[in-house]
Structure 1
Amino acid sequence: MPLGIFLTQILRDIRSQKMRTTLTVFGILWGTASVVLLLAFGQGVAEMQHKAIRGLGEYIVIMWPGRTAKVFQGLSKNRVIKFREADAALLKAQVQHIGACSPEYQKGDVKARVGKLERLIRVTGCWPEFAPMRNVIAQAGSRFINDEDLEQKRRVVFLGYELAKDLFGEDNPVGRVVLVNGAPINKKQDSSYNGQDNNRAFIPSTTFQAMYGNEFINNMVFRADEPNRTAQVKKGVYQVLGAKYRFDKDDNEALSMWDTTENEKFFSTFFIAFRAFLGVVGAFTLIVGGIGISNIMHVVVEERTKEIGVKMALGAKPRFIKGQFIFETLFLTAIGGVLGFTFAWAIVSVVPSFHVEDYIGTPVISSSVSIAAASVLSLIGLVAAYFPARRAARLNPIEALRL
């Protein structure tokens, strides 16, 4: 039979069953939209979490001093370890494959004043390497502290984005004076992006020590020159500091390390499983729609038994009967799928206008999401079409005409 006549018959059959056609298309639309939206929102949440983790710093280790848990070389356990700024220089000099390292002084509830405005802020003293490790990014026209600031103990400060906004509003803070505990820091050269450290003030570690007289630092931040060498560098840090402070290199209580590399690996694995779970839930929703289509097509075959018998009596071959029902089902599935994708795309497009990115991320209909949904949809459409079509093709024309 010519393709034009074939398509005309299918369209005529679809128009004659408007209610069933509508229910079939709606079932596929709802299932498709569910799959796409679940995967899109799942990907948005995953990317939000990855961004939050990387905002803290990529492939870094944050290390705090601890307390010894083992007797070592005649020394008792429970000895308190305290870091000095010189320890960071020692690690840079003696630990192989360490890419960057910075001490970190911290002081909270520091009074900062700009004009008549006064705020309590947190001040961090660090080295220039701190910025790239912790993803602290300067805005155009500004910079983070540098080596000269460190060597000359310059009174310069780098303000986090929110802190700069709070102190200076919409004014350009570069070059302005900030009074910190009554002491003028007269070259406010820097401003920051809206990242993890957006409410902190950064000054050179040497300036911090001169202002507050701290002998010990709070913690250190370091990173390997290659992410796959992080474990090796951590081992080297234990050996170097263990030799200096005389504790067992296997004493896990002496140093407390937060390895963000392991953290990121865990979250990557977790969100792969999370997206897979959402995909399975969405697929089951689509399968329910497919079962509905299959049941409807079985009813259609039952109602059109006599029509099928007439066609077969006039010479229509079983493969034509089967092809007609398969094509009709796939056609309805395709319409429902397109409408489902369109509906999901519309939902994803309007989500950013509600400004909920900080809570659920930004949903994304990626190519992988589209391919996965289209593949599941095609498979379900074929399975839903096959069995009713096979039943129709196997009808005996004589018995069909008697019904």
Structure 2
Amino acid sequence: MSVSALFKELFQNLNQQRLRSFLTIFGIMWGTATLILLLAFGMGFRDQTVLNMRGMGDQLAIMFGGQTTKPFEGYGIGRPIRYREADAQVLEDQIPAIDVATPEYMRSLVVKNGEKRRNSSIGGVYPVYQELRNTFEQKGGRWLNQRDLDERRRVIFLGNNLAANLFGEEDPVGKRVMVSNTPFVVIGVMQEKVQNSSYNQRDEDRAFIPATTFSAMMGKDIVNNILYVPKNPDIAPSIQDEVYKVMGKKHRFDPADKDAIGIWDTNEFWSFINIMFLGINGFLGLIGFFTLAVGGIGVANIMFVVVQERMKEIGIRRAAGARRHHIMIQFFLETFMIVGIGAAAGYLIGWGLVLSMQNIPIKEFVGTPYFSPEVGLIAFAVLGIVGLASGFLPAWRASRLDVVECLRK
């Protein structure tokens, strides 16, 4: 039987039993649309969570000072460990696996523009801080540069929310603000970014000045924390061990004393995120699979009925010389055609549902679902499995029918 004849016969059979055909195809269509929608939501949620975390920085670790809890080389417990700027360079020099390390000063100060004032966490940082923390400037402004540090310039970079509170709709670049009664020139405003975590204050409400200016202005050389980025995030735990050894030797504390310094390594969260979303997307995919499997069971049941109704046709074809595998292939193809029609409709409906949810009001939390090639391939693979499972037994039964019994029908 030719492919065109097979299609013609299939559509004739579907037309003869319209309600039954509709319900069968609807089961596959609904299962396919559900699977696509669930996987699209899973992908969107994953990407939004990653985007939120990128507000803190990529593969970043933050070191904070702590207190010793173990005696070491004659020193007692409870001794505070504090960093200086040189400690960041020590980490870079002595731990080859660290790509870059930089110190950060912080203090909460009043920032004023005329009568408008805000309490803000002021950071004294180096130019490399921008890349580590994704604090990029809006058009028309700039970030801190090396000359700002060398000359200890009184320049300031504002978070976008802080700039809006102080200047409203006015462009703040080039204007002056007072920081603890000291004038600073605004050189830039941060681009808006999503940030769901911080270790002091959200960057949108912060301001940044050259580290050298901060140190001279505050009269201090004790930094609040040190940021570092590993060359290979996969070995972040072993880098932490090296950090404790290097800092323990420099500041005279036991490297096994984990309370002497605190390390917030965001690489640990990235590892957790990968595992978590593998589980979430797997669970959503499993729900979609079972929904689609119900439709597949419906197709299998219908095909068993079709085999029963067409026993005489099967007997005539076998008597005319058709072999078992010819009968089996015919019913397999009919099953895949039914699944294919339902799948095509399900793809279109699922795609339409995904597009209709692009502007959901809570996308900042759950993300925006999207139809990706990955989603399409997973759905295609599941449909293939469902088609094989629902078509095999009816096709096998049809190919094993006794020719004489079929001709008696």
Q: What amino acid sits opposite 2:192 in the alignment?
A: N
Which residue does 1:153 correspond to in 2? Answer: 152
1:254 aligns with 2:291: no
1:241 aligns with 2:239: no
* Alignment partners' CA distance in 2, 1:282 and 1:328: 24
Deviates more, 1:393-402 or 1:146-155: 393-402
* Alignment partners' CA distance in 2, 1:241 and 1:7: 75
Cα deviation, residue 182, structure 1: 3.3
Which residue does 1:373 correspond to in 2? Answer: 379
SS in 1 for 2:69: coil
**Percent of pairs identical after alignment?**
40
Cα deviation, residue 189, structure 1: 0.7
Encode CA deviations 1:157-191: one digit per residue, 9 max, x unaligned: 11123332333334332212122233321x21111
Deviates more, 1:205-214 or 1:226-235: 226-235
Q: How does 1:1-400 map to 2 (within 5 A)?
A: 1-108=1-108, 110-185=109-184, 187-195=185-193, 196=195, 197-214=203-220, 216-227=222-233, 230-231=236-237, 233-309=239-315, 318-400=324-406
Distance 1:148 1:304, change over 3 A: same
Distance 1:7 1:91, change over 3 A: closer
* Alignment partners' CA distance in 1, 2:275 and 2:44: 16
Distance 1:116 1:292, change over 3 A: same
Encode CA deviations 1:239-282: one digit per residue, 9 max, x unaligned: 33223321112221111111222321222122223222222222
Asked if the contact 2:355/2:370 (under 8 Å) is kept, the reply is no
* Alignment partners' CA distance in 1, 2:231 and 2:328: 63
SS in 2 for 1:202: strand
Deviates more, 1:56-65 or 1:303-312: 303-312
Q: What amino acid sits opposite 1:293 in the alignment?
A: V
SS in 1 for 2:82: coil
SS in 2 for 1:352: coil
Cα deviation, residue 229, structure 1: 5.8
Encode CA deviations 1:193-234: one digit per residue, 9 max, x unaligned: 223322211112232234444553321111234445645554
Cα deviation, residue 24, structure 1: 1.1
Encode CA deviations 1:373-394: one digit per residue, 9 max, x unaligned: 1112012112211211222333
Aligned length: 401
Cα deviation, residue 359, structure 1: 1.3
Cα deviation, residue 36, structure 1: 1.6
* Alignment partners' CA distance in 1, 2:408 and 2:98: 86
Distance 1:208 1:330, change over 3 A: same
Cα deviation, residue 96, structure 1: 3.9
Distance 1:128 1:401, change over 3 A: same
Distance 1:301 1:226, change over 3 A: closer
Q: TM-score, normalised by structure 2?
A: 0.89
Cα deviation, residue 397, structure 1: 4.5
Cα deviation, residue 5, structure 1: 3.0
Asked if the contact 1:10/1:324 (under 8 Å) is kept, the reply is no
Asked if the contact 2:359/2:368 (under 8 Å) is kept, the reply is no
Deviates more, 1:132-141 or 1:165-174: 165-174
Cα deviation, residue 133, structure 1: 1.2
Cα deviation, residue 120, structure 1: 2.9
* Alignment partners' CA distance in 1, 2:48 and 2:257: 36
- Give 5+ residue unaligned stretches, structure 2: 196-202
Asked if the contact 2:91/2:243 (under 8 Å) is kept, the reply is yes
